[in-house]
Structure 1
């Protein structure tokens, strides 16, 4: 019933009303009560409550009195504090002036009697703005009044306008709003601060002017300004020093034309340089700049620049360009000298280039001559290989026949020595031809993929007679690995290694086999021969080089050199391991490839080489060289074969027609007379006989195309001089007349 937030007077009045109501209620109860004791009891209770309320009322009255006294003291303290404040203070509550100090009221004498409690904010700012003592700040006061007039909905700091009063007095108004919709205005005098700032500003301006003047006077550039009428305003000392003109001409008001005349008459090395003074004025009138370079009588080079200023006057600045001009002259001189040097160097280079061109032309001609010589050499070797191998082949056949016929006679030993010497000649000839082909620019290498097993068996079969004759055991370990190489050149390399092993092994063993090494394979030739020392192992692959322990008469030392060159061309690696008195291991390492196909077994490898294996064989020989034809026929007949010798395709075809049967085998030389060839002869005989007659093409030409052609037509190729062992095996491997009906229909 009593709100503790109400003022104390209001609380006391409410308590009095409550007490009165209780007393009245007690009186009514006494009137209507049935029992006197009950009424008495009620009166006692009511009296207790009245005494309690009376004590509360007295205590509240005392507290109210204390609060009133405290309020008076606080108001007196606030009044005393405001009176001693240096600035003016005012408090506006609900937009009305409530409290202020004396300075706030008396700051503007013409407004003192109008500043009273209850004055609203808008009225106060209107009074300030209209005061006759206000010198400046009206605009800022009006803006501050507009902001202060709005309801003080939020607390925060308002603008702080600065006003100037008469007597050079300055005050700052600070407006602060509070959360209770009150506005506080503080008037702070800042006259001392303003005057001090003004003094410091004037001092700074004066100093800056001094600094500017000092900088102006000490500039390295001469500067002078002229009015729109062309009269001198200001200049620095550098301007006079550069022009070296009298001081009296550099007084304020001197006309620009007078200065120009003085400079032209007394200061310039060439007075005609100033002939453009009229042009300068025209250029300046068009708001353009003037740039001139003059030479002073002292030797100095001066750059003069004239620029129009906003007030239609103009600025003249003069720069000493002597150092720059002399540097430019030196640079130009250096450029001329350098240009002359470069011209001379270019002349020498041109001359050198012409000489180099002549040398290059001579080298080109020499190269062409060398290439022509190499080409001529290649053509010569191609022709010589045929011309040399033809008689060698004939001689080999004749000597072999002579050897067979002289067995048991007195000349058998002589014929054997003759055959050995001839074999040495044949080996050397093959070596020289191989070296020439490897050195030529067009080495006829034809890499292909093949199995190493047949190649090794062929080498063993070819060299087995030589090994048996010497008493050396020759073995091979079969291999099914495939490689990519030139089959013919690789076979020649393996043959050279095997021949070397047999030659330098006495009553021992030679073994040929392959060893797998990851993705590569090493084809190795082992022997138990004399071995090679460590120092000789580094040079045995050089031409015409033999180990120190090799007996005299053991060859020219070309076999290993050919092996090394061939393998380098094929991309293979050749190695040797050896120990004197123990033996040697030569190896050729090459990459392994996946087997693409299986070669059919070689016919000559399946047939044994017997002395009478050729008996009854009908052999057709086509050879245009009479000596070779005679030697071949003699040798084949000594083997027991029936031989028909012809010199051309036509003769061969006529023989086949005459005898009425197909031969057992055809031996045809590739290069016949004219356009006739052994291939043509083989194909013609087969067509005439109506039978795919086995054939061997014998040639001194080692062109890889022949191997391709032979594979296409189904015949084999043998190179001259013919390996008689292989030839005999080839003939013995074909069936004789008794095995097949070969009559011509």
Structure 2
């Protein structure tokens, strides 16, 4: 319990403390006992007096701060009141209605012009009014002119939806043809400022200008209608005439006096029936049905004929206000011209048909001749390859070490001549297939190194014989093409470069060209004159007239040009007389093939064919070719079972109870059984036997058939080295 009342003033508390201290001092002086209690009380009183003094100082400082804060608050309130007064005066000077709503959508202040045109709600606006209440007051005001079919609640809902946007501007129509433009803006603290601008004068002026423009447009439309070469009449939604032009009276058999505002369509149609007839399939009833529809009319077009031989084209279409417009066009001259043109066209069509039939007959004859030529070339090539193959095998069987050098030279020349004939026949076959469009391509990924490197080994002896430097630049590019035809293209280009280059070198390489690769063949030969650069791609065209037939018949570049065209490989040429020639073939690049590489060191050593003692079944229906192959095989110490057809071969093996070590089967044996069918029967009976199909047929279909059966094809004329490699492999498989 305190001895001083806290509610007393500082002066009163000091006075009480002084009295207490005096009383204590008197008691100390009177009481002099040994216990020292009086002195202790004196010390406490002195300490208490010091605390009271410190508290008094703190209170005085607090009072000073409080007086200072009150003074500043009074100044701020005065400034705020002055600012509010200035703001109120400022918005009062604005010529527009102004209102400010706080972030809580409560009205803070507004000027006297705000809602001044709505006298029934102006007195209800006060600070703290919610925004939705303000909207409700406006929507229910009798001064607001609501749109048709809209209730005050609908208007209020639409107004509140607009209030959600940061910036709003729209016009409000009041009674007595007055207009207010409402502009609503959002403040930084989320409040809303509304400005009301009286735009009545602007709206009335705009209406006047619009009416003037409408009158001007009406006059322009009227003038335009009168200048049209068509008769035009316009009807409203009640099928009453509201507009027409003067041309209408010239085209229709109706007195011009009948064309007046409000004239009914049915009345005009009744006048027209007496003088016009409708085209088949469309009559006045159908037109009247179309007119009586109130909306959704589709455009219609028909033709009418007047008794004066005038033809009118009629077009009717609905307008946006559910009225419709009908136009009449005089097409008499056009119909007469069309009729005359139709007659001329019939005559021309008859002549064209006659000429077309003549051309078709000529084309059929040309196609038959071309097909006959292609069949003749293919048949003749096939028939030539049979004896040619036999001749090559006969010549190969003559090459023995016991013969003289003269005989060996003669045999070598004969082999060279036969190879030249084979190349010419192959070229003729390729030309025939490419021209007839019968060449089939196996398009896929082709590694150019697989094409170029074998050709390098094959053509280097030819270049070395002429003392030329033949260079192939290594490449790892893979392209999209047919491997066999691409090899033929490159082989012909390089062979041609070697043939026409006397000294210097031939360079073969591949250059990247964006997304494609350009295969280039350069030589330092005599060059090609510009006038001859198109001729060289024709069949049997050679610039060097002194060249022998063994050096080519001028078919190589013809095959290159046709093969590149069919494969879609652009072919280019650069040449200059005395400097050389360059051929370019553009190829599409693709991803590399994952070809497995075989290590040559792992191949087994080939055993001698002569020591293997092979027994080979040869089925060939050409006696000369069969005899030549038998001689060659017997020279290699191979026993040959020679038969002419499949049934005979099956019967022979059944009688001697022998399984041959290898099969050499001609594809074209008899109509009942070809070489592939014979192999399948023998495979089912004896199991797997090394087999080769031989044929002069070089079509892709045969290659695919052989590949499907797991067979390989030896094309006629047969290369003895290929035949020996097959037999050596068969011997190794037998010994293994």
Query: Smaller-chain TM-score range?
Result: 0.3 to 0.5
**TM-score normalised per structure 2:** 0.48
TM-score (normalizing by structure 1): 0.47
Which structure has the larger Rg?
A: 1
